[in-house]
Amino acid sequence: MHLRLVSTLALCSLPIATFAASDITSIEDVKRGQTVTVQGTVDRVMDTDEFRIRDSTGSLRVYVGPNWVPADVGEQVTVTGIMDDDLLPRPELYAREITVGDEPPITIEHRYE
């Protein structure tokens, strides 16, 4: 096990999150402006506060700023957040909660509204 920098991320004392398959949205089905939960593998850490998640249907940028990315490439994550509604060619998910593997969920205190 290695130490992770979590910066201003607040760790929840809730039990380990479990998600029913019906709670998970495939990456190809996410829509701008929608609150979603996606699940996949960290494909790439793009910056200290942004990473790319991949499932069997595609990939998606996840923004956790101004916090540090709490996962490493290859780790399984579940992310709940709001899809941006900007007209960028590749939208990103503004994370509100991230679960890395079997660890307790991490709540992102900063809100992106």
Instruction: Please state whether the peptide bond connecting residue 66 to the residue before it is cis, i.e. omega within 30 degrees of 0.
Output: yes
Tokens 């709001």 locate to 82
CA distance 15 to 5: 21
pTM: predicted TM-score of the whole model, two decimal places = 0.77
Token pair in block for residue 73: 């490439």
57-77 pLDDT, tens digit each: 999 999 998 889 999 999 999
The CATH code that applies to domain 10-107 is 2.40.50.200
Pick 47 or 111 by higher pLDDT. 47
Q: Please, which residues have CB within 8 angstroms of residue 100's CB and are 6 or more apart in sequence?
A: 70, 71, 75, 76, 77, 106
Comparing CA positions, the residue from 78, 109, 80 lying closest to residue 95 is: 80
